[in-house]
């Protein structure tokens, strides 16, 4: 059974163009109920860690579990990674920064927000290029594109279980400014928790990102 509804491909292409224009866009209800339930069960077994304070003024209030490259041991998440990669690559969309056909989902992060959790206004690191794909697995939240770190809000997306949000990543080939990446913040809906799965195209996977630990990172050699 397909994880996502391929018959709605045209909707993904339209959303990618809206993402290019506005910084973010939504493809509602892309995951089937049964798929979300399976993912939820698998996600509950992940080795979560608490997000550490990001550099500067960014406040992060969630637990996360990240994988670089493939997602070993967790077949539902790995299946979702491949399905979303295929969905975006086959959209036929030519973005300003790069053809969507070149996009890779080689960096996966599962994030669990308790009620009132979230992340304050920030830019994603420039190593994450072109498209950031964010699925809401459980709970509800809001993702807002901002004119600057503290607002005002330019576009607001309400995130429901099964939705796919698309966020504009950095331009490939070394973007130096923040013109391409939108400032954004994420919050939970009142009284709700939220679990998201985020797929990104990391163009410098060999360089560690301060504060981020991958669950499948190779063990460091023993001290001798």
What is the contact surface with ligand AKG in residues (CB under 6 A)?
Answer: 111, 119, 124, 134, 143, 184, 186, 196, 198
Q: 111 or 130: whose CB is closer to ligand AKG? A: 111
The CB-of-118 to ligand AKG minimum distance in angstroms stands at 8
Largest CA distance in the chain: 57
Residues 6+ apart with CB under 8 A from 63: 48, 49, 50, 51, 111, 112
Residues 6+ apart with CB under 8 A from 105: 81, 82, 84, 85, 88, 133, 199, 200, 201
The CB-of-36 to ligand AKG minimum distance in angstroms stands at 15
Q: 7 or 16: whose CB is closer to ligand AKG? A: 16
The CB-of-143 to ligand AKG minimum distance in angstroms stands at 6
Q: 22 or 99: whose CB is closer to ligand AKG? A: 22
Q: 43 or 198: whose CB is closer to ligand AKG? A: 198
The CB-of-215 to ligand AKG minimum distance in angstroms stands at 16
Q: 90 or 158: whose CB is closer to ligand AKG? A: 158
The CB-of-159 to ligand AKG minimum distance in angstroms stands at 7
The CB-of-186 to ligand AKG minimum distance in angstroms stands at 5
What gap in Å lies between CA 153 and CA 145, rounded to an integer?
Answer: 6
Q: Is residue 129 within 8 Å of residue 172, measured between CB atoms?
A: yes
Q: 90 or 189: whose CB is closer to ligand AKG? A: 189
């Amino acid at each position: 059974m397909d994880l996502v509804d391929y018959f709605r491909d045209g909707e993904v292409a339209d959303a990618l163009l809206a993402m290019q224009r506005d910084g973010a866009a939504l493809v509602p209800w892309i995951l089937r109920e049964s798929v979300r339930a399976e993912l939820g069960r698998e996600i509950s077994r992940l080795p979560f860690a608490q997000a550490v304070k990001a550099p500067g003024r960014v406040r992060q209030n969630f637990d996360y579990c990240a994988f670089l490259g493939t997602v070993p041991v967790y077949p539902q998440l790995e299946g979702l990674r491949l399905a979303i990669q295929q969905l975006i690559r086959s959209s036929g969309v030519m973005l300003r920064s790069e053809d969507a056909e070149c996009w890779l989902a080689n960096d996966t992060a599962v994030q669990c927000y308790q009620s009132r959790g979230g992340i304050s206004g920030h830019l994603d690191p420039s190593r994450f290029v072109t498209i950031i794909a964010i699925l809401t697995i459980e709970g509800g939240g809001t993702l807002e594109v901002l004119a600057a770190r503290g607002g005002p809000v330019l576009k607001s997306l309400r995130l429901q279980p099964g939705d796919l949000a698309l966020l504009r990543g950095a331009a490939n080939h070394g973007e130096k400014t923040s013109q391409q990446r939108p400032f954004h913040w994420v919050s939970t809906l009142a009284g709700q928790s939220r679990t998201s799965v985020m797929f990104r195209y990391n163009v410098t996977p060999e360089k560690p990102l301060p504060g981020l630990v991958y669950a499948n990172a190779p063990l460091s050699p023993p001290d001798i």
